[in-house]
Amino acid sequence: MSQKARDYVPSNDAEFDNWFRNIIEYVAQKTDKDNPEWTHIPREAINALEAAYADWRKYYEPALQPHTPAVTAEKNNARKRGGKAARWENGRGIKGPWSDIHSAVVP
């Protein structure tokens, strides 16, 4: 029996940040407003992905300095939200527009 392959999401926070930023930049390049290569992705979906990265950064940056356990918990929750946004899939298994590219984008 084959085991479902797991996608790549870095466990290190700095690597996760770089990985997530790479996805944002890749999607932005492919959906360039003037001459998009990808026209099947609604702008709202791109905005949601960018908002998830902004949310991650909001809680990640304070954790780069000496901080309390509460800051770590907030950062970890933001990371979970960011990872979920990057791997978007609805309850019926229909994947989001970039849920497969995240494993192809390397830091």
Task: Report whether pLDDT(45) > 90.
Answer: no
Whether residue 59 lies inside any domain: the answer is: yes
pLDDT value for 46: 85
pLDDT digit string, tens, across residues 55-83? 999 999 999 999 999 999 999 999 998 88
Q: Which domain holds residue 63?
A: 43-88+96-107
Task: Report whether pLDDT(89) > 80.
Answer: no
Task: Report whether pLDDT(98) > 90.
Answer: no
Whether residue 8 lies inside any domain: the answer is: no
Whether residue 10 lies inside any domain: the answer is: no
Cα torsion through 52, 77, 97, 106, rounded to 10: 90
CA-closest candidate to residue 79, choices 51, 59, 98, 61: 59
Q: Are 73 and 37 in contact (CB under 8 A)?
A: no
Whether residue 52 lies inside any domain: the answer is: yes
Higher pLDDT, 21 or 88: 21
Whether residue 1 lies inside any domain: the answer is: no
Whether residue 23 lies inside any domain: the answer is: no
Please report, rounded to a whole number, the percentage of residues in the chain having pLDDT higher than 90: 40
**What total of structural domains would you count in the chain?**
1
Whether residue 83 lies inside any domain: the answer is: yes
